[in-house]
Chain A
Amino acid sequence: MSTDGDLLHTVTADDISNNRKRLGKLMVWGTAGLCAGMALWQLAYETGHIGNGFDNWRPILYAYVLWATALCAAQVIVNGEKGKRTLFVLPAALFVISLVVFPLLFALYISFTDWNLASPNGPQPNGWDNMREMWNDQFYWNALKNMVYYVLAVSVEYVIAFGLALLLNAQIRARKFFRVVFLLPLMLSPVAVSWMIGKSMLEVRFGPVSRVIREFGGEPSFFGSPEIARFMIMAMDAWTFIPFMMIMLLAGLQALPREVIEASKVDGATGWQSFKEVIFPLMLPVSVTAIVIRIIFKLKLADVIINVTSGGPGGATDSVTSFIFREYRDRSNVGYGTLLAMVYLVLIVIFVTLLLKLVSRWMERPA
């Protein structure tokens, strides 16, 4: 039995022969070579360098699965008991890599092609054409500008959510009832919200809200002007997701140490002073988390817009996602649409990273 290394979790003795180790390595490298060789062969076939190849890439996928299986098996063959521990994680890791990294790389390739599903030529690399087109695409920049408005609206949502959380944390009548009621919008799908509210309650002619406005002598128009239409989209989205922020903040409020708040009262702090100097600073970590998650939700905003305004009037309510949806679904413009999505992904990564950096610096602690 080996007496080296981590013995704490070792159950059985490992006495692995060199032949066994060689076999394991041979399995891994052999199947890897097979997979790479087949991929290169197919690539040569598809690019017209050789005359024979497979009808599609499925055999290469099978070779990849074979390699992954061999890699897993080789862990045990080469490392014995230690390899079994690796085996707990390795399949999951390979699975994630297969479904995230590969598609991402494929998407990166697609985004630099002119792939339109209606084109008989399939995806053809077109260099930086898509990037240039994006640069001149007023619809995309307009959608990005709208996203700035939508993200800024999170600050207002945060204030409302904080207020509601404070109310629900206070000793009010029927507190549990209100907690449930205020959570209800979050349980609705945004698609349902867009139909029930955007397309029904706010319907100009027979929607109940319109009727009330008309009763008071007004002329209802919810999606007629760009500003009001954008506001209505923000309001519907906020109505759905304010409860999400509220419940996070409420959980934070309930976790606050009572003695600190009581000490501030003993020291003579007013309600406002207590909130400003004690509660709000203590709530910052929760607040930041709630805001960041909400912003991430907001960056995906599309369903309400697609259903209610289709991005109109004149693109005033378009989000990046709803615009990409149109490029993909209505125009089958896969190459350009993928590039827009990749650029958006990069922008989001940069934005969220900067946001977290700023927050951590502001709070003087790692975010």
Chain B
Amino acid sequence: MKTDLYDYIKAAQKMNRRQMLKGTAALSAAAMLPKGAAQAAAHGNVRAEILKIPGVGAGSPTDSDWQKVGEMTLGATKENVAEGEFEGVELTFMGLNNQNLHNFLFRGFLKPWETYTGAKINWIDLAQADYNARLQQSIATGTVDFDIIEMGAPFEGDVLGKGLASEMPDWVKEQIDMDDYVDYLKAPVGTWGGKTYRVSIDGDCHTFAYRKDYFGPEGIAGPDVPSTWQEINQMTKDLVGKEDPLTGLPAHGYLDPLKGWGGFGFYFLENRAAAYAKHPNSPAWLFDPETMTPMVNNPAWVQAIQDVMDLIEAGAYPTDQINADPGTTAFQQFLAGTGSMLMWWGDVGSSARTSDTSVVGDVVGFGINPASDRVYNAQAGAWEDTMNEAPNMAYIGWGVYVMATVEGDEKKKKAAWSAAAHLGGKDLSLWASAYPSGFQPYRNSHFQYDEWEAAGYDRAFIEDYLGSNADSYNHPNAAIEPRIPGIFQYYSVAEDELAKGYAGQYGSAQETADAIAAAWEKITDQIGRENQIAIYKESLGL
């Protein structure tokens, strides 16, 4: 769980000792079941017991808590690895140090694993901003100096596509129970050439956050929360000149970030475009998988860009929106009471009740990416007047991968995979979903709300909040980004061209989209078209 989400939930449900004891008592009662039942429920008991460390509402977990969780979840490891089996093995793990989470937790989780197996892990900690450059340079210069890496799925094209990772052994698949993954994290994500490489430890998607006080019988935006982009655009235009019910300042509808964000800003245009462009008949919605011809200038994408331009033209955005990146729209606008609708990662609206600058904590609601009342069928080259939903699985989430550096040394390879499997274990991941860790729930078992309730969480809130994530993850028409080399290069150059388009330097949305397409063609040629086609198809599972 992301730190801000944890804080939010604590604040949202006003956790007290009584609730804590209620949850604990329920777990204790379960522990008093007859022996046979207790054995069958041993797995369940571990889950319940680790959720008590340190206890929801009992402050942020520390290194000793992480070690306790790591110790209590070693059961699966012990089934596959003998004590001291990896004596003398040294592994190097490269990961992030964001918010003192990620690698900091991994150290704690793996400490008991190291003690049990006898292996030793050396750590490479990276700031998020340095991550991409470090990884790309390691790959490009052939200096991969790590055996295990924490990596986002968008980089799979760079790493798996170049054969730099080690294939997951079958015993690991069993140990981590991959069938439990939410749908979109199953193959082809994490796989390459039919082989599996990724131990998922996180899930990511954009969900819809809205201000409840804008809607309802007296709401200034209308009685119902919009469910399509067409409705959102109309409401956003209609709100011009009205007054925000909470702040008394000018009311605004949907908040599009109009400034780039190191490539990540493109995800926000994708949210709109997904509903128009992601037809259920194909997983491809950014490039033609046969030629890598960009689809970004087809009528669906042009419509998405045109929507934004229309809202600029209508004066529907807050002042200086042209200089607002996604960080601004979320934290300086939506949470501070400006605007009424937003798409963001599932964990960001969570700051609503805990951030000092947030004023919308009591009036925020969640949903999945809005639909469109028509969808563009790229294969037929025509619009279809059917309702289309396509949640945007932006960034896909973090995973743990073992590098090919371990190949040729079976002991080292098994050790590396055992460490990765421990971090992606079913029980351990539940704890990581429920406490500050930097990771979102990503398994179907993470959405068993009874467990959350027993641990002391407020059920209604958890269902509302995490429900929007679960619905997005398991959506049959989820829009998955291509895991091709240099994907953020495409996004970054698109941001530059969009900025020009939004500033009025191109004549139309079509011209802007054409400029993006031309820039994407250049990148594809530079990286190698044939190679990109092969990898793109592979990443889509075609």
Given A205-B336, A330-B263, A331-B489; A220-B319 close (CB under 8 Å): yes
A351 to chain B, nearest CB (A): 26
Cα–Cα, bound, A309→B495 (Å):
13
Which of chain A's residues 211-244 have a Cβ closer than 8 Å to chain B?
219-224, 226, 229
Which residue on chain A has the smallest CB distance to residue B137?
A117
Which residue on chain B has the smallest CB distance to residue A207?
B332
Which residue on chain B has the smallest CB distance to residue A129?
B526
Name which of B66-74, B77-85, B347-355, B497-505 contacts chain A: B497-505
Cα–Cα, bound, A333→B525 (Å):
13
A117 to chain B, nearest CB (A): 4
Cα–Cα, bound, A114→B529 (Å):
14
Cα–Cα, bound, A331→B137 (Å):
12
Contact, CB under 8 Å: B500 / A315: yes
Question: Is A312 part of the contact surface with B, judged by Cβ < 8 Å?
Answer: yes
Digit string of B334-345 for contact with A (CB within 8 Å is 1, else 0)? 001010000000
Contact count band on A: 35 or more
Contact, CB under 8 Å: A120 / B319: no
Contact, CB under 8 Å: B496 / A326: yes
Which residue on chain A has the smallest CB distance to residue B490?
A331
Contact, CB under 8 Å: B486 / A118: yes
Cα–Cα, bound, A224→B503 (Å):
9
Given A139-B496, A203-B332, A330-B489; A121-B528 close (CB under 8 Å): yes
Which residue on chain A has the smallest CB distance to residue B487?
A118
Contact, CB under 8 Å: B322 / A315: no
Which of chain A's residues 175-231 have a Cβ closer than 8 Å to chain B?
203-206, 219-224, 226, 229
Question: Is A60 part of the contact surface with B, judged by Cβ < 8 Å?
Answer: no
Contact, CB under 8 Å: B323 / A224: yes
Q: Give the secondary structure class of A's interface.
A: loop
Cα–Cα, bound, A24→B135 (Å):
45
Which residue on chain A has the smallest CB distance to residue B260?
A310
Contact, CB under 8 Å: B336 / A206: yes
Given A117-B137, A314-B500; A219-B489 close (CB under 8 Å): no
Contact, CB under 8 Å: A313 / B139: no
Which of chain B's residues 120-177 have a Cβ closer than 8 Å to chain A?
132-133, 136-137, 139-140, 142, 158, 161-162
Contact, CB under 8 Å: A333 / B259: no
List B contacts of A133 (CB < 8 A).
522
Cα–Cα, bound, A314→B260 (Å):
10
Question: Is B365 part of the contact surface with A, judged by Cβ < 8 Å?
Answer: no
Given A118-B485, A139-B496, A205-B333; A312-B259 close (CB under 8 Å): yes
Question: Is A52 part of the contact surface with B, judged by Cβ < 8 Å?
Answer: no
Contact, CB under 8 Å: B499 / A333: no
From A221, A309, A315, A331, contact of B319 by CB (8 A):
A221
Contact, CB under 8 Å: A223 / B320: yes
Which of chain A's residues 97-121 have a Cβ closer than 8 Å to chain B?
114-121
Cα–Cα, bound, A118→B332 (Å):
34
Cα–Cα, bound, A121→B526 (Å):
10
Cα–Cα, bound, A330→B487 (Å):
10
Contact, CB under 8 Å: B320 / A119: no
Cα–Cα, bound, A314→B502 (Å):
7
Contact, CB under 8 Å: B496 / A120: no
List B contacts of A223 (CB < 8 A).
320, 322-323
Contact, CB under 8 Å: B319 / A332: no
List B contacts of A154 (CB < 8 A).
none
For B137, B323, B489, B503, the residue with the greatest tally of chain A CB atoms inside 10 Å of its CB is B323
Question: Is B293 part of the contact surface with A, judged by Cβ < 8 Å?
Answer: no
A283 to chain B, nearest CB (A): 39
Cα–Cα, bound, A115→B485 (Å):
14
Question: Is B318 part of the contact surface with A, judged by Cβ < 8 Å?
Answer: yes
Contact, CB under 8 Å: A330 / B262: yes
Cα–Cα, bound, A114→B526 (Å):
7
Question: Is A12 part of the contact surface with B, judged by Cβ < 8 Å?
Answer: no
Contact, CB under 8 Å: A314 / B259: no
List B contacts of A226 (CB < 8 A).
503
Which residue on chain B has the smallest CB distance to residue A55?
B142
Which residue on chain B has the smallest CB distance to residue A310?
B260
Contact, CB under 8 Å: B136 / A117: yes
List B contacts of A326 (CB < 8 A).
492, 496
Sorted from nearest, which 6 A-B pairs have the closest CB atoms? A314-B503, A118-B486, A330-B492, A223-B323, A118-B485, A117-B136
Q: List 25 A-B contacts (CB under 8 A).
A: A118-B136, A118-B158, A119-B486, A119-B527, A120-B161, A121-B528, A133-B522, A204-B320, A205-B332, A206-B332, A219-B319, A220-B319, A221-B319, A223-B320, A226-B503, A309-B323, A310-B325, A312-B259, A313-B259, A313-B322, A314-B505, A315-B496, A329-B132, A332-B136, A333-B489
**A119-B526, A334-B140 provided; 11 other pairs, C-beta below 8 A?**
A115-B140, A118-B136, A118-B527, A120-B162, A121-B528, A206-B332, A308-B323, A310-B261, A310-B499, A330-B488, A332-B132
